[in-house]
Amino acid sequence: MNVIRQCSRLGLSLLSKIDWLPPLLVRVSIGWAFFDTGKGKLEHLDRTAGFFASLGIPMPHVNAFMAGATECFGGLLLVLGLCTRLISVPLAFVMGVAIATAKMGGVKSLLDFFWLSEWAYLAIFLWLATAGPGRASLDHLISRKLGLDEQGPS
């Protein structure tokens, strides 16, 4: 029993030393994906606006630009870990709109809903908004420099 406790403590100690890695991997992966898709929306704004119009989204050109800019620049901010909590809110909103306008028609059950990649993105953005970017981020560095760093997750 003592060996199990020691192994458990060692394992938890090692994991706590790399607790910065999962938020970094999530931020960079999701951030780069959204940067890329947002850039595509902006580069092909007329096509994106046409798709938005086909979904019945009002002011399709304005909304296509807003969604593309939010994804593109929000994705870059996530990669850097800069303004992570703040930018995660509009990114979550964009995913909520995508679910409501483009994806709900194919949802027949709660299980279908949870299989939506947009739902996974929305959940990740909500997690980032509440948990923060982690220690390997510009947000964390700035907080430390300003003396705002707390003992909890950042």
Residue pLDDT, tens place only, 15-63 = 889 999 999 999 999 999 999 999 999 999 999 999 999 999 999 999 9
What predicted TM-score, i.e. pTM, was given to this entire model? Answer: 0.88
* SS3 at position 84: helix
Tokens 């999530």 locate to: 26
**Residue 129: partners with Cβ closer than 8 Å, 6 or more residues away:** 84, 85, 88, 89, 92
Going from the C-alpha of 78 to that of each of 33, 39, 49, 144, the distances in angstroms are 10, 15, 25, 19
Q: How confident is the model at residue 150 (pLDDT cuts 50, 70, 90)?
A: low
Give the DSSP letter of residue 18.
Answer: T
